[in-house]
Every structure is written in structure tokens, then in C-alpha cells.
């Protein structure tokens, strides 16, 4: 696929600039939040920029390998506590979907199919596909969903720093690096597994593929060490720029018309997820920050990356977000078919 070079070059300027400014201002997660915030503002001012798909997949592989490198056999021994956590999370997802849909239809006067799709706590590409098939308000749905992802990306680190015992790793520059042979082997293996997962329509295939490869090789001590820091930082900058690029071609007028509903939905999502996380923390004694990141209905790639930075067990975080997406893949079509029948 061919694409213009200028928008790509602009993204190479916007992302690093945002990361540098956020680092100088001592932001939490500067390499992620800086590019996210700056690229969003740039997009809303009508400037077009673009991250090519190969570069996106490269960043997902780097994040997967980085997060998976935190796996230890001791951490995996706590997996017996996960079923309770998963069940409570899925109940929370259903409650979020129901309450947000009700608010959109009753308070913001959206039709029921559109309100359901806009309230889905995740699975944006799947939701937009359903939207086009049902003649729903695709533009408004996309903007509200983008507001959710953006707000959760910015709010989650702040909430964890304010209310949790964990802090994000202050310095990612002092880790022993993997050897060149190990890095090359892990990348090659991650690409193979990623293509296989994409073939079977698994969500975030290259991220999850790299996470699985890194989890296995680090859990068995085959590849001790971490990916080089410049790759890790680059991946976060690309991811943040990608989040902001959701608002390319969105006008300030369009954003303003959806801002209230998007922020209300995000507040409800955070509140319900936070309450569910507190319940799981009480029942299992898993650290609250780890649970909240696993429950927060943000972008899968972003939440998995954040989980790695607070020391959360990678397979715990990933399993919850993947389960959320699979659950929504069944729940949303069932509820949508009911709403369409009633709407008719």
C-alpha cells in the first residue's frame, strides 16, 4: 500500500517532540502521554499525520517483548486467583455497557443501536463494522470511542499515582539488554506467531504474539534480559502518536458535540471498573494498581504497556483485556439485534 511521505515524516516529528516536552515537565509515562497529548492537539488543528502499518506492528512487538520480559515463575504461581478476577471484570463490563447505553439514549438522545455501539467498552474496529452494517451514526460513535481511549490513556496513570500503592517505573534506562541473537530470534518468532494469530482473527495479534513468546522464554530463563531501551521508548512514542492520530480529520466542532457524552461515558467506565477492582483487591489481595489496569476499558496495547510499567503480571493484564474483547464480540451483537428489533 502506497502512502504520502509527508504525513509519515510529520509523525516522526510530533511524537518525539511530545515525548521530550513531557519528559522535561516530569509527566508520568512521558514517552506515552507526551506524544498522545501533542498529537491529539495537532490533529484537531487540521494537520494530517500517519503511522504506517509496519511501524505500528513493530511497536506492538516491542511492547509485547518488553512487557513479557517481566514474567517470573513466582508471579505465575498466583494464577489460581485469576478466575475470580476475570468473572468480576466481565460482570463489570456488562454493567458499564448497560449504564452507558442508557445514559446515551436517555440523556444525550442517541438512537438505541448507536448508543449501544458508542458505549461498548472496547473493540473499536468491530464496533465500527457493526455500525456501518446497521446504518448507525458511525462518525459520532467513532469520536465518542476515541474520547474514551484518549481520556483513559491520560487518566489511568494519574489515578494510579493518586490512589494506589504502586508507581510507574521512574527510570527505564538501567536494564540489562538482551543479546542481539536473542532479540533477533524473539522478533522472528513473534512475527510468525503474530501472523498465525491474525489468521484466526485474534485481537492485537502481534502484541499478544510477542507477549506469549517473551513470556515463555523469560519464564523459562531462556532469554534473560530486556529489549534495548531505545526500542522500548520508540514503541511508546509510536503508540502515543497512534492514539492522537484517531482525531485526524475530526473537527473541533465535531469533537465539541461529542465531548460531553464521551467524558460522561469515560467517567462511568472508570467508576465501575474502579469499584470492581476494589472488590477483587479485597477478595484476592492482588495489588490494586494491577487490577485497575487490567479492568480499565482502554486500548488493549496501551493498558498492557502500562501494566508492565507498574510491575503487573503481564499474563494477568493481557488475559483480562483479551477476555474483555472476546466477551464484547459476543455481547454487543446479541444486544444490538435486540435493539434493532425494538427500534423498528
Q: Do the domain assignments include residue 119?
A: yes
Pairwise CA distance, residues 177 & 175, whole Å:
6
* 177 strand-pairing partners: 226
Residues in the chain, overall count: 344
pLDDT tens track of the chain, all 344 residues?
A: 455 788 899 999 999 999 999 999 988 788 989 999 999 999 999 899 989 999 999 999 998 888 887 766 666 666 667 889 999 999 999 999 999 999 999 999 898 889 999 999 987 777 887 887 777 788 899 999 999 999 999 998 888 887 765 555 544 445 577 888 888 999 999 999 999 999 988 878 898 899 889 888 877 778 777 888 888 899 999 999 999 998 998 888 999 999 999 999 999 999 999 999 999 999 988 888 889 999 999 888 888 888 877 777 778 888 898 889 889 988 988 888 876 665 55
Q: Do the domain assignments include residue 24?
A: no
Q: Do the domain assignments include residue 68?
A: yes
Whether 39 contacts 17, CB under 8 Å = no
Whether 328 contacts 87, CB under 8 Å = no
Grid cell at residue 206: 502481534
Q: Find cell 509515562 and name the residue.
A: 29
Number of domains in the chain: 1
Please give, one letter per residue, the 3-state secondary structure of 268-335. HHHHHHHHHHHHHHHHHCCCHHHHHHHHCCCCHHHHHHHHHHCCCCHHHHHHHHHHHHHHHHHHHHHH
Grid cell at residue 264: 460522561
Q: What is the per-residue pLDDT across 101-140, written as a single tens digit (0 to 9) for each? A: 999 999 998 988 899 999 999 877 778 878 877 777 888 9
Q: Do the domain assignments include residue 42?
A: no
Q: Do the domain assignments include residue 322?
A: yes
Q: Do the domain assignments include residue 49?
A: no
Domain that holds residue 116: 54-228+251-343
Q: What is the per-residue pLDDT across 177-186, written as a single tens digit (0 to 9) for each? A: 788 888 899 9
Q: Do the domain assignments include residue 73?
A: yes
Grid cell at residue 61: 512487538
Q: Do the domain assignments include residue 5?
A: no
Pairwise CA distance, residues 52 & 240, whole Å:
14
Whether 115 contacts 343, CB under 8 Å = no
Amino acid at each position: 500500500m502506497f502512502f504520502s511521505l509527508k504525513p509519515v515524516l510529520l509523525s516522526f516529528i510530533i511524537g518525539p517532540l511530545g515525548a521530550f516536552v513531557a519528559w522535561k515537565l516530569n509527566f508520568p509515562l512521558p514517552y506515552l502521554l507526551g506524544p498522545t497529548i501533542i498529537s491529539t492537539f495537532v490533529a484537531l488543528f487540521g494537520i494530517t499525520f500517519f503511522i504506517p502499518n509496519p511501524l505500528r506492528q513493530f511497536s506492538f512487538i516491542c511492547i509485547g517483548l518488553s512487557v513479557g520480559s517481566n514474567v517470573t515463575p513466582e508471579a505465575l504461581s498466583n494464577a489460581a486467583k485469576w478466575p475470580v478476577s476475570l468473572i468480576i471484570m466481565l460482570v463489570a463490563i456488562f454493567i458499564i455497557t448497560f449504564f452507558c447505553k442508557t445514559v446515551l439514549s436517555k440523556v444525550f438522545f442517541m438512537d438505541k443501536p448507536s448508543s449501544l455501539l458508542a458505549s461498548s467498552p472496547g473493540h473499536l474496529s468491530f464496533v465500527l463494522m457493526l455500525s456501518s452494517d446497521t446504518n448507525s451514526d458511525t462518525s459520532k460513535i467513532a469520536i465518542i470511542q476515541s474520547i474514551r481511549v484518549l481520556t483513559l490513556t491520560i487518566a489511568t496513570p494519574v489515578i494510579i499515582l493518586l490512589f494506589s500503592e504502586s508507581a510507574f517505573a521512574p527510570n527505564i534506562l538501567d536494564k540489562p539488554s538482551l543479546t542481539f541473537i536473542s532479540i533477533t530470534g524473539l522478533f522472528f518468532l513473534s512475527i510468525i506467531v503474530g501472523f498465525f494469530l491474525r489468521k484466526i482473527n485474534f485481537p492485537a495479534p502481534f502484541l499478544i504474539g510477542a507477549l506469549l513468546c517473551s513470556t515463555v522464554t523469560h519464564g523459562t530463563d531462556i532469554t534473560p534480559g530486556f529489549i534495548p531501551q531505545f526500542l522500548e521508548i520508540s514503541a511508546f512514542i509510536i503508540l502515543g502518536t497512534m492514539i492522537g492520530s484517531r482525531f485526524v480529520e475530526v473537527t473541533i466542532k465535531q469533537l465539541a458535540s461529542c465531548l460531553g457524552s464521551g467524558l460522561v461515558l469515560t467517567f462511568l467506565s472508570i467508576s465501575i471498573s474502579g469499584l470492581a477492582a476494589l472488590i477483587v483487591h479485597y477478595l484476592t489481595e492482588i495489588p490494586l494498581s494491577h487490577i485497575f489496569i487490567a479492568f480499565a476499558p482502554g486500548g488493549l496495547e496501551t493498558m498492557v504497556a502500562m501494566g508492565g510499567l507498574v510491575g503487573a503480571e503481564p499474563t494477568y493484564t493481557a488475559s483480562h483485556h483479551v477476555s474483555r474483547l472476546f466477551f464484547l464480540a459476543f455481547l454487543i451483537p446479541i444486544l444490538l439485534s435486540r435493539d434493532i428489533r425494538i427500534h423498528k
